[in-house]
Structure formats: C-alpha cells, structure tokens
Structure 1
C-alpha cells in the first residue's frame, strides 16, 4: 500500500485493494516516511472508508488536529454501539463522536462543564444509547483520568440517536412534518403563539424529534409508569393532557401509531411547562 497523503505521524491516506481511498491509522505509521513510500498492512491498526466524499474530507481535516487517542476511543465507543444498538449507524458518527469527545475533554480540563438539559429525556427514552454513553464515560475516565459525568453520557447518547436516523432523508422530512403538526395542534389548542426562542420550546422540540423518530420506526415506548402517577399528571395538567389526547387521536388516524401511556405522560409534562411559560 502506497502513501498518498500524510496527515500526521500516525495517519495516512492510501488506497485499498479495490483502489478505494481510505484513511489508515497506526502508531508511528508515517514516521520518517514520505508520499509514495510503501506501508505494510501489518503496521496498520485501523482503516476507515467513508463512501461520502464530503465526510471523508471532513474526517481528514479532523485527524490533522486531533490525537490518535481520541480517534481510538471514539472507535471503541462506536464498536460497542453497533453491538448494543443493532442498528446501522451513519458514517458521520466517526466525525461527530471524535470531535465531541475532544471538545468535551478540553472543556473539562479548563474547568468548564456544560449541563445537559435533556438528560432526563435521554435516560428515559433511549436507555440503550444512554448505556453506551455511560460506558463511554468510563472508558474516558480510564484513559484520561477525567470524569465527564452523566451529562456527557447523555450527549454521547444523542449522537448515537442522530446517527440512527439521519441517513434517511425521507424519514427526516416526515419527522419534521410530524413535529410541525404537533406544534400547530398545541398552539391552536391553547390559542397561543409559542416562544420559539425559549429553552422550554427547545426541550419540547427535541422531545418531539425523539418521539417522531419512534413513530417513523414504529418503536413504541414501553409503559413503565405507575397508573396512579398517570392519574396525578392528568389531574394536575388537565388542559395539557386533553391537548395530548387530541395529538394522540391525530397520530393514530394519520400514522397508525398508538401512543403509550408513558409517551402521553412525557408529552403532557413538556406541553404543560411550555404553555405555562408562554402564559406567564
């Protein structure tokens, strides 16, 4: 295999047996070498072939600035995610996870920690993705002696959620359409203009994106909420719950999807908080 481009001492661009351009990584792989030199397959630890040329170029740019250690740990996380989630993952995940880990670790080193306002949603709605996130945080603690905490476990989980949905443009369009329909039903029911700049609207729409993804994939959230808790929520947020019932009826008719009690409960809470802030 011949070196076509050297990104750093550990990473080069070369071609595989089918003449596909690939990223090849290995400790000291390009040390004291130049373009045109041969490298042996035994010296290569990992290769990456990203079919999308734009992603391939972005990955190259990232590898120029980021240590091989970050790429290796990102790769370990993605390998675990593939086994745990059993769903295809978009190639862009190699870029987003590596870049996110690098930025998150640098922030913590500088004493800056960012709260994940969606942590509660992520833990409850995406337990498998969150478990991979928790495992990732443990790997990072072992490698860098830095504890990123649950907030970053949730952020990593969000990257995994996105990587399972962003590959299908038609689904993405349908998700956006469904989200807009739910927002319109909510706005019309309460006869209010929702504040799209508020953090509550951000939380609401993020929750809707997860919810819409489950509807598109027919992945219903299992009911685990105690019936008594649901009754309490119904009583406390009567108007919000009635709005959710209208949403559930709409979704049932248009998308042939029956909302679970857990889904109704979470959507009720989000709508109640959103509308309360608009009314204040």
Structure 2
C-alpha cells in the first residue's frame, strides 16, 4: 500500500493520501522525520492508520494531534463510527475532536489519581439511546486503551453525544449572529470572573463549540424536542445556583439583543456547560 504525505504533524505522525484515494492519519516511530509533502512513507513503519472519512477540518485535527496521542484519537474515532451505525445516531463532526480531547484529559486525571466523577445529573431517562452508545464507547475505551474508568464516566460521554446530535451542513448559517452570541456569552462570563485559562480550557472550548452550532439549530428549527422534567430543572437550579444565574442572564440578553428565544433544553445545556467550567476551576 502506498502512502503519499500531504502534511507532517510531527516526527511520528502525518496526514497521507493512500493509493485507493482515501485520506488517513498514520502513526509510526520516526515516520515523519526528514520527510516533506509529496514524499512516500515506508509502509513497514506504519503502526496505526486512522481513516478520515468525511472529516475535513484538518486544522482542528492538527491542533488535536499536538497534544493527544494518535492511539487515543484512533480508539475514540473508531468507537464513534461504531455507535453511529449500532445506535443510528446522526452526529456532528466536531464530536471527533471534543470527545478525543475529553478522553485524553480524563485519562491523565485517572492516572494521576485526580479523577473525580461528574456531579451533574444523569440524563439517561431522557436519552436512553445516547446512554447506551456512551456505555458501549466506555467499554471500548477501557478495553482498547487498557484503562479503568468507572461506569459513571458514561455520563460525560453521553453528554458529548447529546450535544453533538445533528446533521453536518456545508456551512453554518448566520455566522455574524453566531459571533454576536459568542461575544454576549464571553462578556457575561467575564463579569463573573470566568475566562478561558489553563485550568478550564477544555470545558470552555466545548462551550464555544456548542455556541457555534446553536444558531444552526435555531435557524433550522431543530432545537432538542426532548424536554427535561420540571422537577429535574428545579433540582439543577437549586444545586448549581451560580451557574443558573449566569445562564439566565445569557439567555435573557440573547433574547433582548438578537430576538432569539431558546428552549428550556438549551437553558439546561448552557447550565451544564457553565457548571463544568466552574467545577473544573475548583478542581
């Protein structure tokens, strides 16, 4: 099999075009050393092949591979592809990036004995299919990466699946509105002393990705149709008062300035994202 280099990520990984017309990321000790775009790789040195399929955002992938080992990325991507078919889930491509990053960060905490279960409530009653997919993914991760995540980690994975549900569009609509929402959210977070920093960057970036796709859901009228029970909503408000206050202020300002009315579910998603940022800073 022929591997033609399209981009070198580091000495051990590269983006290649294969002789069957497919793109893939390959990993192997020293395979990128002294190589350039257009060079051929020695197939005998390739240890891992990650087929990209429909994923075309090479910049996001390059940023991911700067920090996350390819074996973790390959494991997570393969698991996502499997659950798409097994559970008939339509998932946006950014999930490949966010879930890979999450697994890597959680793995580091697990190995450093600083891992803590998520305090947020489980949503499996409302999202049974996503939870089954998450439990399957967790089994694959524990098996293939030789890890020992507790069953509660499925909550985190399920949340990634829930947030990423949708069909990929060629271009997100109303990009200017998306930028305005981003400004509103970041400004309000700063009012409460919350900004992107090393201690919270992973969850902060996930909130920004959620905002990126929010306008598309509003414009296509595909905000989540599944509703959370009033009891659950009230319980979360009482349990996370600061996150609730911040969320309500964000929702109100988006409504006033942009005339966009978000569903109760979007409020819950905002609350969950903000609470995770605050919780990560405390940890």
TM bucket (normalised to shorter chain) is: 0.5 to 0.7
Aligned equivalents of 1:106 and 1:63: distance in 2? 16
Match of 1:62 in 2: 64
Is the Cα–Cα contact under 8 Å of residues 13 and 32 in structure 2 kept in the other structure?
no
Match of 1:46 in 2: 50
Aligned equivalents of 1:97 and 1:15: distance in 2? 25
Match of 1:270 in 2: 233
User: How many positions carry a matched residue from both structures?
Assistant: 198
Give the alignment's Cα RMSD to 1 decimal: 4.2
Return the index of the structure with the highest Cα Rg: 1
Deviations 1:106-158 (A, max 9, x none): 011111123323342x2222122112222222223223443222332111111
Match of 2:9 in 1: 7
Deviations 1:147-191 (A, max 9, x none): 2223321111111112214857579x9xxxxxxxxxxxxxxxxxx
| Equivalent runs, 1:166-185 vs 2, <5 Å | 167=168
The one of 97, 101, 104 aligned to 1:102: 104
Is the Cα–Cα contact under 8 Å of residues 7 and 13 in structure 1 kept in the other structure?
yes
Aligned equivalents of 1:94 and 1:150: distance in 2? 21
Is the Cα–Cα contact under 8 Å of residues 116 and 151 in structure 1 kept in the other structure?
yes
- Give 1:97 shift: 1.3
The one of 110, 113, 120 aligned to 1:111: 113
Deviations 1:35-69 (A, max 9, x none): 142137896733326665xx320211211332221
Aligned CA distance change for structure 1 residues 9 and 127 (closer, same or farther; 3 Å): farther
2:102 match: secondary structure: helix
Match of 1:76 in 2: 78
TM-score (norm. length: structure 2): 0.54
2:9 match: secondary structure: strand
2:156 match: secondary structure: helix
1:103 match: secondary structure: helix
Is the Cα–Cα contact under 8 Å of residues 10 and 27 in structure 1 kept in the other structure?
yes
| Equivalent runs, 1:77-226 vs 2, <5 Å | 77-120=79-122, 122-165=123-166, 167=168
Aligned equivalents of 1:119 and 1:24: distance in 2? 37
Deviations 1:228-268 (A, max 9, x none): xxxxxxxxxxxxxxxxxxxxxxxxxxxxxxxxxxx57x223
Aligned equivalents of 2:19 and 2:97: distance in 1? 24
Q: Which runs of 5+ in 2 are unaligned?
A: 178-191, 193-209, 243-283
2:4 match: secondary structure: coil
Aligned equivalents of 2:158 and 2:139: distance in 1? 14
Aligned equivalents of 1:97 and 1:268: distance in 2? 29
- Give 1:101 shift: 0.6
Aligned CA distance change for structure 1 residues 19 and 76 (closer, same or farther; 3 Å): closer
Aligned CA distance change for structure 1 residues 124 and 29 (closer, same or farther; 3 Å): farther
2:125 match: secondary structure: helix
Q: Following TM superposition, where does structure 1 have runs of at least 4 consecutive aligned residues deviating by more than 6 angstroms?
A: 16-20, 275-278
Q: Which runs of 5+ in 1 are unaligned?
A: 174-196, 198-205, 222-262
- Give 1:273 shift: 6.2
1:164 match: secondary structure: coil
Deviations 1:184-209 (A, max 9, x none): xxxxxxxxxxxxx8xxxxxxxx9xx9
